[in-house]
Amino acid sequence: EAKNTGKGRCVVFRPALRRAAAQRIALEEDLRAAVEAGAFRLDFQPIVELATGMWVGAEALLRWPHPTRGLVPPLDFIPLAEDSGLVVPLGEWVLRTALQHRVAWTPRLHCRQDFCVSVNVSVRQLAEPGFVDVVTDALAASGVPPEVLVLEMTESVFIDEEAGTLAVLRALRDLGVRIALDDFGTGYSALSYLRRFPVDILKLDRSFIAGLLGTAQDQAVTRAVIGLAQQLDLDLVAEGIETYDQLEILRQLGCRLGQGFLLQKPMPADTLPAHCPSSAS
Ligand code: C2E
Ligand code: MG
Ligand code: MG
Ligand code: MG
């Protein structure tokens, strides 16, 4: 009950808190073992050109099949991986593995040869000295041209300017890698960042897409972000398209690219080439 005294609340909540802490520690131990054993896999969700249905690339999404817990959602273990620092080796595995999949797809891919692979990168990885070397090395080891790699990060990278984020992003840009701002609109969204930091792609957060038909505000924000991307010459991806109505509005508003369950759900890496529509020319 909300009106309980402080004392009463402690009695009720302390065991629950203790249990939660113990579960967290157990999960972290499992995570550490899984990182060492390489017990993860990547699924890929296509990024689709809305006007044509053509796939321009795919985003790698980390999957942890846990022996007893089943498939643990990334949002349940990525924060833990960030806090513990495990996201650094794990993120490097994601990067290298995503590029290997891209290489394996090449002979079977009916799509364009510039088919991109997008990898989510956490702030913790960017702040790690040597991140640019890791990316350089992973590209060299795979033989994938840098233009094919997109690194997705959230606006939180912009908060920590002292960590040398700007220099790291510039070095990545100099390699030829592209930078996408993930979940755009949910973070700080100080628009001055877009001028100062080398960003190539905006990914409009799916919460705006979910509200496209319901609220005038979400439609106004979407329209504004589409205009912003055009003015700043950035590519734009609408996230989380789930219905035909949403797809139709986004097409009408001139949004070029999209992702979502309506278009394609994330799929195992080996099945991607078989699902990829062949390009007309
Ligand atoms: P994200 O990068 O924004 O990825 C998109 C998420 O939205 C994915 O969830 C995807 O399955 C889901 N999604 C795609 N289309 C739809 C849709 O139409 N409707 C709905 N409701 N959801 C859709 P997932 O795979 O659970 O990943 C969640 C988040 O975990 C990602 O969000 C990303 O922030 C993080 N993540 C995933 N893989 C990695 C990774 O390798 N490294 C890092 N650092 N983070 C990762
Ligand atoms: Mg992403
Ligand atoms: Mg996203
Ligand atoms: Mg998201």
| Cα–Cα dist 99/80, whole Å | 25
Contacts of 151 (CB under 8 A, 6+ apart): 118, 119, 121, 135, 172, 177, 178, 179, 180
Spatial separation of the C-alpha atoms in residues 201 and 59, rounded to whole Å: 13
Tokens, residue 41 = 């896999």
Ligand that lies nearest to the alpha carbon of residue 209, given by its number in the listed order: 1
Ligand 3 centroid to residue 197 C-alpha, Å: 19
Contacts of 227 (CB under 8 A, 6+ apart): none
Ligand 2 mean position, distance from CA 194 (Å): 18
108 CB burial (10 A radius; 0-12, 13-18, 19+): exposed
Give tens-digit pLDDT for 27-81: 999 999 999 999 999 999 999 999 999 999 999 999 999 989 999 999 999 999 9
Evaluate: CB of 246 within 6 angstroms of ligand 1. Answer: no
Distance 5 CA to ligand 3 centre (A): 42
Query: From atom 45 of ligand 1, which residue's Cα is the shortest distance away?
Result: 120
The ligand 1 atom at the shortest distance from the C-alpha of residue 62 is: 38
Sign of CA dihedral 210, 215, 219, 225: negative
Q: Is 182 in the pocket of ligand 1 (CB under 6 A)?
A: yes
pLDDT at position 280, please? 45
pLDDT in tens, 223-235: 999 999 999 999 9
Burial code (b: 16+ CB inside 10 Å, e: under 16) for 4-13 equals eeeeeeeeee
At 12 the pLDDT is 62
Ligand 2 centre distance from Cα of residue 41 (Å): 16
The chain-wide mean pLDDT, for the chain, equals 90
